[in-house]
Amino acid sequence: MSDIVENRLARLRKRMAQTNTDLIAIGPGSHMQWLLGLNPHGDERPVMAVVTADHVGVLMPLLNAEASRAQCKDTPFYTWSDADGPLGALTQLLSDANATRPGLNIVLDEMMRTDFSFLLLDQLDAPTHRFTLDTVGFLRAEKDAEERQLLRDSALLNDAAFERAFSAMRTGMTELDVRDIIVDHYMANGAEPAFCIVAFGKNSAYPHHHTSLDILQPDMAVLIDAGCRLRGYPSDMTRCAWYGDTPNARHQEIAGIVEQAVQSAQSAARPGTLCSDVDKAARTVIEDAGYGPEFLHRTGHGLGVDVHEPPYIAANYPEPLRAGNVFSIEPGIYLKEEFGIRLEDVGFLHQDKLEFLSEMPRTVRQLLVKDRKQD
């Protein structure tokens, strides 16, 4: 078992004691990847890791056991065949974990298949259950130095992909053309695309626009929201530009308001501050400028193994921030049938500041018109 896995299991068991938790069950996905370094094939065959105070084991279909063992060498697997079904292996796992007494207080992975959860609950006697927010989720929200560096490396690669995309823009290119430039840069540098939104003109007024065949023309707004996954950790950034030889005064005005909102939220983000108060700091700037109804979403979200995870910088999430949290600040103003501006950076929370991981300026850049024939 690696030092990272041993450390995370020890931290989890300490947290289980603090929260009076007897058993945690997690399915294939980011929780299992974070805790055990295990990312098994997922389908309808039940797979789950079970953690108690003195045992950890993984219910595993026999046909996937060998491939999974290469990722997770020392954790016991409780294998089952298609002919036998999972019940016998799960019963043995619960027995070895000393998890057969009535009234257990258990935590279920909210991302695990419901039928897996029911399979487990049916084997237990009158358990109480909840999701992972105050156990696995609580620990994942505090990034260590290694995770911070992995997230920063991913952010810097994302910076370079954005620079390449903005530099390559020419009249007549489609949103998909620009997306391909970004994705190709990710893959050429050992990363995978996590997501990529490219929006021209009025498309940028839709926060989750589907990148399309729409064509870049002079005097158009440009919004790119994209991220890659490098060595298991993602990036997420949004930058905007104006494609045209003459700056657009309204676009510049809105960009200035959004930038003020970013700075206000960054200044408010400190350990102990409620996430909802950081959202309020950004939202108040935009409301005071008269664009409150055009700020359509929360101010940010956590980022780690998942692109979206706690903490959430939202009005309905009054949880205190903690040092080691990593989250986005991404206010926006969306003017229907005109354009939208969102400026997003992901930051690591220190004791005294929120440090943004990207080195790319948030300045809304002016892109001079170029024809493809100039290349």
The rounded mean pLDDT for the chain is 97
Q: Which residues of 70-97 are buried (b: 16+ CB within 10 A; e: fewer)?
A: eebeebebbbbeeeeebeebbeebbebb
Fold of 145-374: Creatine Amidinohydrolase (3.90.230)
Question: How many CB atoms within 10 Å of residue 167?
Answer: 10
Residues 320-348: tens digit of each pLDDT: 999 999 999 999 999 999 999 999 999 99
Asked if the 3-140 domain carries CATH number 3.40.350.10, the reply is yes
The structure tokens listed for 290 are 């008269």
Q: Is the pLDDT of residue 159 over 60?
A: yes
Instruction: Kindly list the domain boundaries of the chain, sorted by start residue.
Output: 3-140, 145-374
Q: Is the pTM of this model over 0.85?
A: yes
Q: Is the pLDDT of residue 301 over 70?
A: yes
pLDDT recorded at residue 282: 98
pLDDT recorded at residue 375: 56
Q: Is the pLDDT of residue 160 over 60?
A: yes
Between CA 61 and CA 74 the distance in angstroms is 17
Residues 82-141: tens digit of each pLDDT: 999 999 999 999 999 999 999 999 999 999 999 999 999 999 999 999 999 999 999 999
> Percent of the chain having pLDDT more than 70?
99
> Percent of the chain having pLDDT more than 90?
96
Contact 328, 250 (CB under 8 A): no
Mean pLDDT on 43-65: 97
pLDDT recorded at residue 2: 87
Mean pLDDT on 203-230: 98
Q: Is the pLDDT of residue 48 over 90?
A: yes
Q: Which residues of 235-259 are buried (b: 16+ CB within 10 A; e: fewer)?
A: bbbbbbbbbbeeebeebeebbebbb
Residues 354-374: tens digit of each pLDDT: 999 999 999 999 999 999 765
